[in-house]
Chains A and B, each alone.
Chain A
Amino acid sequence: MASLQQSTTDDGAAAPAANAMRVRIIGGGVAGLTSAHAFARRGARVTLVERRAATGQGCSWYAGGMLAPWCERESAEPIIAELGLESLEYWRSAVPDVPNEGSLVLAPPRDLPDLKRFARRTSGFEWADGGRLAALEPDLGGRFDQGLFFPTEAHLEPRKALAALTRKLVDEHQVTIRYEADGLDDGEAPADVIVDCRGLAARDVLADLRGVKGEMLVLYSREIALARPVRMLHPRIPVYIVPRGDGHFMIGATSIENDERGRVTGRSMLELLGAAYALHPAFGEAEIVEIGADVRPAFPDNIPRLRRRGRTIYLNGLYRHGFLAAPALARRAAALAFDGTACPEVMDEDHREW
């Protein structure tokens, strides 16, 4: 956490020194951008290579942007919560518009046992009765008798956040961003360290990486307003409804064991819309603005990893926890390169050659 405090002062630092570490980041999703930031803060001369025409267009584009380390503890390993707490602090200081409104967990009456189980496996919440829920979210007044309120969680709009971070990297940290297909070879710009943040595309070298498909949709309604993300418990998938401002709501996300990009099924939409409708009938009248799907990279235990092979550090396997875990992993990647500080909790492989 020390470097994070430091970060608030070293942001907007001067150009890297002539003998600065030359770092090339491959991939401009949440992992690549937060890595670029972490290395630039440490004084590295950073080039980021993105194969698409803009940053943040991969699975980061479809992310929910919930910064919910306590909620995630329900099904994720403790390390995710630990990384999440650190990342929560990062986002609050790194980008504008991170509402600190907490989050709510609700269940339809028939799924109340699931709410009890959720409470048993998490912490950092308060039980909220109908009155409290109505005070927090007036439009939900009278609809639910109990729920869990996680007051210290937050959320962000992933697309805006990554755009803001990209601007910050270029303007304040002199990070060079190249939009080209392949940054794997040195070409004309040799690097001391390569940070591979290609997500599922890195499966060519990380054989145990797999894809987990996620589908989402965006609704528009002026009939309902929410201040904070609401998680609707569902027997199979945790559906969350995240307010995006201006009447927009992101509903996500399915979690299906395959690596098929793009195709969104009717069944998934039924489930996502069903959860939104169960939260409030106004969503039945909402306009469908967008539907999307992409594939998250995950290791078999769904825990992200840093792997060092020679001068390359692989940062991958963020699974459902891109925004929740990336900043904390990025900081560890920089600490590994600069200080040689290994972090066994997220490293299963370290073959240093530099």
Chain B
Amino acid sequence: MDAMTDTTAFDADPVEFYGTRVGSRLLLGTAQYPSPAILAEAIRGSGAEIVTVSLRRESGVAKPGQPLAGQSFWQLIRDLGVKVLPNTAGCKTVKEAVTTAEMARELFGTPWVKLEVIGEDDTLQPDVFGLVEAARILSRDGFQVFPYTTEDLIVAEKLLSAGCEVLMPWGAPIGSGRGLNNPYGLRSLRAHFPRVPLVVDAGLGLPSHAAAAMEMGYDAVLLNTAVAKAGDPVRMARAFARAIEAGRDAVIADPMEVRDMAAPSTPVMGRAVFGE
């Protein structure tokens, strides 16, 4: 697509996950907000269309088939009319993650799942081996998997061959607010998989981190703590939404190349260029 001449790109620039088009490139987590009212306002104010929800922590469901104990909370989220992306946060084994995903599909009636298989408690680093295995099982079972992974290229390849059509590499450890720890790795992931929707998930703290991810050509950004734990989550959500839009616009606008020498932005008239 020639973005320079496509005027619709400026106004409507949807991103597509598993055939579902969404207008907003900000995905928001729903945990740790001061109140559901503030969460709702943050979602509305930022225009986010996809929110992740943690089944294990919030639902209080012991077995599939039981009613959701956290119903009022889900109702508040449903009332916002957003798409729910259930996650398997806190799961540490393939089995746990698969069971949680199955529960989520039954409860939320969606094949989408953000797959987390956590390998280590201190960094909440993905267990990429378990992740690939769980992704294979779930994809075969009809799930549309959004894997939370590292920026490792080979892991990314394995996830794609396991059936994933979206990749969600981390920016930095969950909740750390450090931004993009490995810009080179993220860039090369983008370069290797130019047509796979890529979402930077976790570790961002500031809107500028999100803008940087978008400028690298990432398709979207997923956040939770940076917004939920801000002093004013509603304003922070809006700040991120704007930064993501700015970064995305910058990519479409085709930025200039970096050069070593100064290049005057005003034409220099009446002056000899050479031989001074």
Interface of A is mostly: loop
Q: Determine the residue in chain A with the shortest Cβ distance to B36.
A: A300
Interface of B is mostly: loop
In the complex, are the beta carbons of A258 and B59 less than 8 A apart? yes
CB of A286 within 8 A of chain B?
no
CB of B130 within 8 A of chain A?
no
Q: Which residues of chain A in 244-303 are interfacial with respect to chain B, using CB atoms and an 8 Å cutoff?
A: 256-260, 263, 267, 298-303
> Which chain B positions have C-beta within 8 A of A260?
60, 69-70
Q: Which residues of chain B in 209-255 are interfacial with respect to chain A, using CB atoms and an 8 Å cutoff?
A: 229, 231
In the complex, are the beta carbons of B69 and A300 less than 8 A apart? no
> Which chain A positions have C-beta within 8 A of B76?
210, 300
In the complex, are the beta carbons of B37 and A236 less than 8 A apart? no
In the complex, are the beta carbons of A302 and B35 less than 8 A apart? yes
CB of B14 within 8 A of chain A?
no
In the complex, are the beta carbons of A300 and B60 less than 8 A apart? no
CB of B15 within 8 A of chain A?
no
Q: Determine the residue in chain B with the shortest Cβ distance to A303.
A: B35
CB of A9 within 8 A of chain B?
no
Task: Give the CA-CA distance A42 to B87 in the complex, in Å.
Answer: 53
Task: Give the CA-CA distance A287 to B189 in the complex, in Å.
Answer: 52
* Residues 11-42 of chain B, each 1 if its beta carbon lies under 8 Å from chain A, else 0: 00000000000000000000110111110100
Q: Determine the residue in chain A with the shortest Cβ distance to B174.
A: A235
> Which chain B positions have C-beta within 8 A of A121?
231
CB of B71 within 8 A of chain A?
yes
In the complex, are the beta carbons of A259 and B37 less than 8 A apart? no
Q: Which of B62, B73, B231 meets A257, CB within 8 Å?
A: B73
In the complex, are the beta carbons of B60 and A263 less than 8 A apart? yes
> Which chain B positions have C-beta within 8 A of A258?
58-60, 68-71, 73
CB of A211 within 8 A of chain B?
yes
In the complex, are the beta carbons of A210 and B34 less than 8 A apart? no
Q: Beyond A213-B69, A259-B70, A300-B37: 9 further Cβ-contacts under 8 Å?
A: A77-B34, A117-B229, A236-B32, A256-B57, A258-B59, A300-B76, A301-B35, A302-B35, A302-B36
